[in-house]
A = this chain, B = another copy of it.
Amino acid sequence: MGDKSIQKKQYIIDVAAKVFAEMGYKNVTMKDVVEACEISRGGLYLYYESTAQLFIDVMKSQAEAGGDFTSLISDDATAADILLLFLQEEKKELFKKKNNLNRAYYEFYFDEKPSKADNVLKKKFDSNIKMIGKLIEIGVESGEFTCENPLSAAFNIMYLIEGMKTTALTLGISSDSYDRQILYILESLGVEA
């Protein structure tokens, strides 16, 4: 596959990402992608055999492009600062109107069980757990946090975020409600607001 092909593939991925963001995963047909990309029917099939394959590449592309929030951490940030930053970044992600793939992610995972290599969400989840766990440990050592089981706390935070994400897609969630949960987490870790 030549340079040009790689560019075209990336173009398809980028356009498809928008389509998936708008329509979710299950509603998107190959035809939808073809039309959004303004290419021919056969043209898409040169690169992807199904929306499933395409979506996997969309996920991978997003994972790579995903802004590294660690770059936002200032040098003198405390553990609580960093945790707060993380929660706020996740909030932004959750509430963003454009290119929000959350719904598509869920629909995809309900239908398909990606191979370990393709399981982008799992990797992200695991790395977040590790990161948050470590962060809490550091916070406990520095006296910022009180927490008997940092790992459980990390899972707690991740499940909580997950729950707010899905609730946003189903019943709806307000920005304030999210903020109150941030507060609640910090309080649970013994941080004075």
Contacts and interface: CB of A to CB of B under 8 A. Distances in A.
A118 interface: no
Contacts of A158: 163
A107 interface: yes
Main secondary structure of the interface of A (DSSP, over half): helix
Interface in A150-193: 152-153, 155-156, 158-167, 169-171, 177, 180-181, 183-185, 187-188
A107 to B, nearest CB: 6
Q: Across chains A and B, which 3 residue pairs bring their CB atoms closest together, nearest first?
A: A163-B163, A162-B163, A159-B163
Contacts of A153: 184
A148 interface: yes
Residue among A148, A152, A163 with most chain B CB within 10 A: A163
Residue among A153, A156, A181 with most chain B CB within 10 A: A156
Given A107-B110, A155-B181, A160-B163, 14 more contacts: A24-B111, A106-B106, A106-B110, A121-B170, A149-B184, A149-B187, A153-B184, A155-B184, A156-B160, A156-B185, A158-B163, A159-B167, A163-B166, A188-B188
Interface string A22-57: 001011000000000000000000000000000000
Contacts of A110: 24, 103, 106-107, 169-170
Contacts of A155: 177, 180-181, 184
Nearest to A110: B103
